[in-house]
Amino acid sequence: SAVISQKPSRDICQRGTSLTIQCQVDSQVTMMFWYRQQPGQSLTLIATANQGSEATYESGFVIDKFPISRPNLTFSTLTVSNMSPEDSSIYLCSVVPDGWYGYTFGSGTRLTVV
Amino acid sequence: AQKITQTQPGMFVQEKEAVTLDCTYDTSDQSYGLFWYKQPSSGEMIFLIYQGSYDEQNATEGRYSLNFQKARKSANLVISASQLGDSAMYFCAAKAMKTSYDKVIFGPGTSLSVIP
């Protein structure tokens, strides 16, 4: 299955600033998925990113807050903009490798906003 | 829409004993997949086991097995011979198999603690 390198692994940020999270996959994949996991909660899908098109956002998530780029079939970024303490979460990218059904996840970014 | 229920927020098991983590799902799809993931305190999500809705045999992967009861919409994870490293959050998840765009839906998770 695919191997995903996600950076940074953790960060502590000031409120009002932005953080960009990167995911690099070792093979070409059609779709990449971005998830948020708030403390003590399950995973919630933020958006689905296809190469060459606008990301599709889930209810409750907007592009101005979570802009996503997908410049090619192996790379994507998620930006968390104008951060507040409520954005403190683990952010995870994932892909569905060709020939398989489930997700392979990056190692996650643990974000703390102070 | 799919929904995953995990009724055990926390579980304890003695080292070397077996443990069953419960999962029930609600879906109207005929073709779907069921997954279990492990999340250690580091935060990464580790795939454990997969069961397709049309698979006749229960899935097994080393010490992990999935007790699939389709009529009851149940997909319990059984971990045999628990180890201290099994202490983690465990998430049951489901996905319709209609298109590659179908999303994976996660349950609320069960926290497993293995006692020496």
Is B50–A101 a contact, with Cβ atoms under 8 angstroms apart? Answer: yes
What pLDDT does residue B102 have? 79
Residue range A36-60: average pLDDT? 92
Is A110–B103 a contact, with Cβ atoms under 8 angstroms apart? Answer: no
Residue range B29-50: average pLDDT? 93
Reported as a single tens digit per residue, the pLDDT across A53-111 is: 889 999 999 999 999 999 999 999 999 999 999 999 999 999 987 767 678 999 999 99
Mutate to test the interface with B, among A35, A41, A43, A44 (most CBs of B within 10 A): A43
The SS3 assignment for B57 reads: coil
E-strand stretches of B42-87: 46-52, 60-61, 64-69, 74-79
Report in angstroms the alpha-carbon separations of A91 from A41, A87, A108, B53. 12, 10, 6, 29
Q: Is residue B97 within 8 angstroms of chain A, CB to CB?
A: yes
CB A43 within 8 A of CB A35: yes
Residue range B64-91: average pLDDT? 97
Residue range B15-36: average pLDDT? 94
Phi, psi of A20 (to 5 degrees): -110, 125
| Alpha carbon of A15: minimum distance to chain B alpha carbons (Å) | 23
Q: Is residue A41 within 8 angstroms of chain B, CB to CB?
A: yes
- A105: nearest CB among B45, B50, B101: B45
**Contact residues for A98 (Cβ-Cβ < 8 A; gap 6+):** A27, A29
Q: Which of these ranges, B29-33, B60-64, B95-99, has the smallest mean pLDDT?
A: B95-99
Is A48–B103 a contact, with Cβ atoms under 8 angstroms apart? Answer: yes
Q: If pLDDT is split at 50, 70 and 90, which confidence band does B25 have?
A: very high
Is A42–B95 a contact, with Cβ atoms under 8 angstroms apart? Answer: no
The SS3 assignment for B85 reads: helix
Is B95–A110 a contact, with Cβ atoms under 8 angstroms apart? Answer: no
Q: Looking at beta carbons, which residues of chain A come within 8 Å of B46?
A: 105
What pLDDT does residue B83 have? 97
- Tell whether the model's pLDDT for residue B2 goes beyond 90: no
Is B103–A43 a contact, with Cβ atoms under 8 angstroms apart? Answer: no
Separation CA A4–CA A24 (nearest Å): 6
What pLDDT does residue A52 have? 80
Which residue reads 């799919």 in tokens? B2
- Tell whether the model's pLDDT for residue B100 goes beyond 70: no
- Tell whether the model's pLDDT for residue B1 goes beyond 80: no
Residue range B16-25: average pLDDT? 98
